Structure 1
């Protein structure tokens, strides 16, 4: 993964006002500023530019937490019924996400908006400029399609988190500040662009050599397109894309052992359709998966950075479900005594999924090299079960086969045939919850079932009793409203 993980952060142009407002550090390093007209000359320039787009997924230009691996999880896991902030966390904006009391000035809501548009801006510049470079035509087409895949992924996050959002497809070239003010684009138009980008990206290669592992593939584009259609409840188109993933010769399969989906030694394996890449000692600012720092707290005497909402999450799993021990831990081996220390408090067990067990000592999780899985094959199988159930008005034999592949890998019994459509739907969402804890799916899954489902789920948790229908979207960040008079706020937020 050298081509992706050792990228140099390069700011290619001035950028969007909506993507960099308040990111002051972007303007404090003039040595990193390269005008696009000066930069896009060679094959190496094109490759470096696309690597830098990938870099927006696992690092932050201002040295904050990365988008994938911490920042996005603060929104969609802490605001779900899965997770709470650490009891040691004194950041009021993080704590507000866990209690559904976040407001328009919340710094984490603002940061995710900025990171998403920062990545989109890099993708836009690459898509606009790479076509003019004299280079191998196959590589040129591939790099443009990789850029479109990431742009689609980022817009997919934006539209699900914030609703109507400004659709920006080119780097602004006007010096008139008024030309930078862009109104919110209706969701349907944003989705149209997402689908167009992903359809082009399906022409990406099926795989790569060792040095390019982790880049977007045609299979990843089909899988993400399936998720987009599923979110839109376009069941038939979703199923068509799922079948292309399953039967398209990509070689995807579940790991026999669930544990292997989250370890350094097995990264970019057959289950990993698209992952954000992390590696130890990159030398790049903040390119670490911060979700792994549960074990750091053992030596410092503090709590992990995030914790399960309560013991009810742990109790969803039967004792023989192998996912339980992978997802949680309640004890740590103490090398000094040769014994395991068992935690006994209201907040255990802790999250275990992203702990990098290749590290010694385990408490050095700031060096974690565990990738963040954006799309796993298990997701495709559960999407298939869901789509078939909705298309047929009830579960088909293929729907049972799909969900039972996931259950069999977890060493739990198959679902018994004979469920009605509603009961099977509930079974799929429960399976998704258990399969994808900490992977950024739960809040999205609750929202797409409907606002009532989300609010009812949150009201079962005392800390989240403030939840209401407005929480099916996050607020447009206050600073963006203040900077851009054409932006209007989401309902329910002042």
Structure 2
């Protein structure tokens, strides 16, 4: 066992034990992402330290958060992602086959990262008023960011697992070993409250690169409303709220420094463009780096790992144009210098080019590329779909929003005079293509109850579902280690 692997394993085991204990007792040290003691919450600098830890919990490679390939693996039930039919990809295949074991370790980073972030941010939200000397605007901004991260974390948890426990305090008590799962409706109430606070308390500008601002909170809240309008809550009144909140972002995009990026499409995925609404910035070292760019999405023929790539029907149906050319790799160079088309690779699939964008060579297992969690194109398409569904007829602003995305992709405008339903379907398709492979498609299929249809007629060369798909397959099993500790899970 190498020293690096030992350290990773030790950190992972330690964090798992902390979470299994309910949320962790207070610590005198300050490892990244863990709850600091009362002394840290008595100063503005202490609040910043705990907030930095909250961000860090979302970025520990292969252990906690979104710098791993876990969120891609967990959304393979969508029709834009699949994995190797053999090799060592059994855990990836479980998601694509709808046969997910509670012991599947690919779930752990998201589960652990979100709950560790919830722990740290709850500490800030519950205790910021202990700071007697500090800049009140800065303190409010810190609490706003903490609220954004906590809302984001619960949003991911309930979308993936449905019913999950709500952690009421940052301090561990024995009762936490028997916490019951909360219904999605209750969890969404907390998410909305957190994001409304974030919207109110965060400034218009970012405090530093990668941090959310007021526009980020509005954009995420619009996405939450859009999801609440679909399954499982089916509160269709939320469509109007989603449209209104997204429109606030669109009308004030200059204030929030958001826009569609007009340069090389692939540069969006290197981060740092005006399209970023919320991005997790990595540092390119083993402590925090992106581990799904590079080898993870390259074929063995190029020395890659073939963790994930697009399904065949999705690739074949993808509209031709510069966006398709930028999204997919279709030719591959072998070590002997020979170039082969995707049909001749070992998996007989194209691959995702957007996740091989590097500052240097692409065949790496660690990258300093950021994780773009949400971008301005999301806001435009949220507005277009929600507006059409809420009123039954798309207005000119909805057309303008979706057509901006289509024009950048090299596509023609949607035809005028579409019905609300047809227009909304066209926007959902646009979301599939614009965010191909970016773990967005699965959540669209779930909220629209289209998972079954999307998996009904797969190409013969793709993995086939391992049985009938039902609503029970829309949510993941609670990770086995936590379920074993708490029988109510």
In structure 2, do the counterparts of structure 1 residues 217 and 34 end up closer, same or farther at CA, with 3 Å as the change threshold?
A: closer
Contact 1:36-1:129 within 8 A present in 2 as well: no
SS in 1 for 2:221: helix
CA distance in 2, matches of 1:141, 1:65: 27
Any unmatched runs of 5+ in structure 2? 1-10, 230-237
Counterpart check, 1:80 vs 2:78 = yes
CA distance in 2, matches of 1:97, 1:155: 21
Counterpart check, 1:457 vs 2:461 = no
Q: Which residue is 2:219 aligned to?
A: 223
Q: Which residue is 2:113 aligned to?
A: 115
Q: Which residue is 1:246 aligned to?
A: 250
Q: How does 1:79-478 map to 2 (within 5 A)?
A: 79-87=77-85, 89-133=87-131, 134-174=133-173, 177-203=174-200, 204-208=202-206, 212-233=208-229, 234-248=238-252, 249-257=255-263, 259-264=265-270, 267-280=271-284, 282=285, 284-294=286-296, 301-310=303-312, 312-319=313-320, 321-332=321-332, 337=337, 340-343=339-342, 344-345=344-345, 346-359=347-360, 361-363=361-363, 365-450=364-449, 453-461=450-458, 463-466=464-467, 467-478=469-480
Q: Which residue is 1:482 aligned to?
A: 484
SS in 2 for 1:79: coil
Shift of 1:303: 4.1
CA distance in 1, matches of 2:277, 2:91: 33
In structure 2, do the counterparts of structure 1 residues 441 and 22 end up closer, same or farther at CA, with 3 Å as the change threshold?
A: same
CA distance in 2, matches of 1:300, 1:140: 49
CA distance in 2, matches of 1:318, 1:165: 38
Number of equivalenced pairs: 455
Shift of 1:253: 1.2
Shift of 1:252: 1.7
CA distance in 2, matches of 1:102, 1:34: 31
TM-score by length of 2: 0.84
Shift of 1:413: 0.8
Shift of 1:179: 4.6
Contact 1:65-1:286 within 8 A present in 2 as well: no
TM-score by length of 1: 0.84
Q: Which residue is 2:7 aligned to?
A: none
Any unmatched runs of 5+ in structure 1? 1-10, 488-494
CA distance in 1, matches of 2:35, 2:305: 42
CA distance in 1, matches of 2:193, 2:380: 24
State the superposition RMSD in angstroms: 3.0
Shift of 1:274: 0.7
In structure 2, do the counterparts of structure 1 residues 21 and 179 end up closer, same or farther at CA, with 3 Å as the change threshold?
A: closer
CA distance in 2, matches of 1:262, 1:93: 29
Q: How does 1:13-28 map to 2 (within 5 A)?
A: 19-20=19-20
